[in-house]
Amino acid sequence: MSSAELFARAQRVIPGGVNSPVRSFRSVGGTPYFVERAEGPYVYDVDGRRYIDYVQSYGPGILGHAHPKVVEAVTGAAAAGTTYGAPTEAEVVLAEMVVDRIAGLESVRFVSSGTEATMSTIRLARGATGRNRIVKFAGCYHGHADALLAAGGSGVASQGLSGCDGVTDGAVVDTVVAPYNVVPELDDTVAAVIVEPVAANMGLVAPVPGFLEGLRAACDAAGALLVFDEVITGFRLAAGGAAEYFGVTPDLWCFGKVIGGGLPVGAFGGRWDVMDHLAPLGGVYQAGTLSGNPLAMAAGRATLELLDADAHARLTATATRLADGLADALTGSGLTAVLPRVGPLLGLFFGDVPPTDFDEAQALADNGTYPQVFHALLERGVALAPGAYEALFPSLAHDDEVIEATISAAAEAAASVRVA
């Protein structure tokens, strides 16, 4: 059955035919390809096509698809049972690995998604401080918990407005939305400031010098907790994530993606004086039937064991070659493009200057060029995310040959694009 046939079939039983909206191709047009299998840097669709994959499930595939060590770990864990509803040694081992890698993080709780991690962290911050208000930044995505689906005004910090049908004004009344890369004024009503240390859900927007340091100082002055949402940056920017990379230590962290090795997982953690407010030690309730499930713990452990200093250096070198090569290929073929990069993370915008906030990112993402380039690359066997607001995720499986093939395809693709 072809991708087109499967998509038509899916739309009869799944809203929009997909289980996460960006997969529907509505942002770029056309019919989504349906994946049959994946290996290393490649995905293979049901139509028999192979793509060099820079989606990598939006971050978990840091080793590439179906890495033998991860497959072996998951297979072994599954043979012993997929879930127990009881503690396991595997949870303890992975928690120790996370705590050992992140300076300042003393305790961690596993959940089943990044959304669960951020939602639980906000509840914990409120419970630990006795305060209600949360500050987030326009363009930063922290999952789909109601309080974090707030929309803000342009250019200034503003009281959150509902950014989604079904999210009531009451759900976001204590959420303040500020422009990214601007340190907001805080007072003693603010429980926490949550931020993507590198904004990777509006393309890729890097923190300007002093922004993260300014947030740390502002939170200290106001007695608020600083939360790093490292669902994307965690264990990717460095062994110790963004906190190590930028030298700024938050009070609480949120993780996901990489630590599950491709299986559903999330985690949140921080200092013991905050974490001991969490049940069963304290009055902040959080629970989950599949939290710490043995398959995800096994996959996460296998993944982290392979992410040593050499792996992070190779990943950054790969991203650098890709960014430089794509920039030359695209601009050399007549397109105006910038590829902001922070370590192994990179974005793609069609414009002259990398954006510094959501308004600037939105103007570049919505100028109509990305969908054309996306389809031109897809026709040449290179798969980017089907939406201009996503980052590119090169993996350790993307070797020099794969990068060169990508750059060659990009030059051909750019030459075929017509920009008004």
- Convert the pLDDT of each residue in 169-189 to its tens digit: 899 999 999 999 999 999 999
pLDDT in tens, 239-250: 999 999 999 999
Same domain? 290 vs 323: no
Which of 306, 322, 356 is the last residue in one of the domains? 306
The whole-number pLDDT of residue 338 equals 96
Query: If you search the block for the tokens 């890729």, which residue do you land on?
Result: 204
Query: Which residues span the domain enclosing 290?
Result: 68-306
Same domain? 195 vs 90: yes
Same domain? 25 vs 118: no
Contact 349, 340 (CB under 8 A): yes
pLDDT in tens, 304-336: 999 999 999 999 999 999 999 999 999 999 999
Which of 276, 306, 336 is the last residue in one of the domains? 306
Provide, rounded to the nearest whole percent, the portion of the chain with pLDDT above 70.
98
Determine the residue type at 398.
H
Average pLDDT over residues 116-145: 96
- The first and second tokens of residue 228, run together, are 């790093």
Same domain? 82 vs 181: yes
Per residue, the 3-state secondary structure of the chain, as one string, reads CCHHHHHHHHHCCCHHHCCCHHHHCCCCCCCCCCEEEEEECEEEECCCCEEEECCHHHCCCCCCECCHHHHHHHHHHHHCCCCCCCCCHHHHHHHHHHHHHCCCCCEEEEECCHHHHHHHHHHHHHHHHCCCEEEEECCCCCCCCHHHCEECCCCCCEECEECCCCCCHHHHCCEEEECCCCCCCCCCCEEEEEECCCECCCCCECCCCCHHHHHHHHHHHHCCEEEEECCCCCCCCCCCHHHHHHCCCCCEEEEEHHHHCCCCCEEEEECHHHHCCECCCCCECCCCCCCCCHHHHHHHHHHHHHCCHHHHHHHHHHHHHHHHHHHHHHHHCCCCCECCEECCEECCECCCCCCCCHHHHHHHHCCCHHHHHHHHHHHCCEECCCCCCCCECCCCCCCHHHHHHHHHHHHHHHHHCCCC
- For residue 12, give every residue at least 6 positions away whose Cβ sits within 8 Å of its Cβ, in sequence order, or none: none
Contact 148, 160 (CB under 8 A): no
Average pLDDT over residues 101-124: 97
Picking from 27, 17, 25, 68, the residue whose alpha carbon sits closest to that of residue 368 is 27
Other CB atoms closer than 10 Å to residue 362's CB: what's the count? 18
Higher pLDDT, 411 or 152: 411
β partners of residue 53: 383
Same domain? 289 vs 314: no
Same domain? 45 vs 161: no
Average pLDDT over residues 298-304: 98
Which of 289, 306, 323 is the last residue in one of the domains? 306
User: Phi/psi of residue 366, each to 5°?
Assistant: -100, 20
User: Phi/psi of residue 390, each to 5°?
Assistant: -110, 155
Same domain? 295 vs 156: yes
Same domain? 259 vs 148: yes
Catalytic position from the list 45, 53, 174, 229? 229
Provide, rounded to the nearest whole percent, the portion of the chain with pLDDT above 90.
94
141 is catalytic: yes
Q: Is the pLDDT of residue 420 over 80?
A: no
Catalytic position from the list 45, 180, 251, 257? 257
CA distances from 31 to 7, 43, 352 (A): 7, 16, 30
229 is catalytic: yes
Cα–Cα distance measured from residue 278 to residue 292, given in angstroms and rounded to the nearest whole number: 16
Same domain? 210 vs 277: yes
CATH code, 299: 3.40.640.10
Catalytic position from the list 51, 141, 245, 389? 141
pLDDT in tens, 326-372: 999 999 999 999 999 999 999 999 999 999 999 999 999 999 999 99
Same domain? 280 vs 217: yes
Other CB atoms closer than 10 Å to residue 341's CB: what's the count? 21
The whole-number pLDDT of residue 157 equals 58
pLDDT in tens, 232-282: 999 999 999 999 999 999 999 999 999 999 999 999 999 999 999 999 999
Contact 269, 71 (CB under 8 A): no
CATH code, 381: 3.90.1150.10
Picking from 279, 261, 227, 266, the residue whose alpha carbon sits closest to that of residue 144 is 266
Tally of structural domains, the chain: 2
Whole-number average pLDDT of the chain:
95
The whole-number pLDDT of residue 153 equals 54
Confidence of residue 222 (pLDDT cuts 50, 70, 90): very high
257 is catalytic: yes
Contact 33, 3 (CB under 8 A): yes
Same domain? 222 vs 341: no
Same domain? 282 vs 372: no
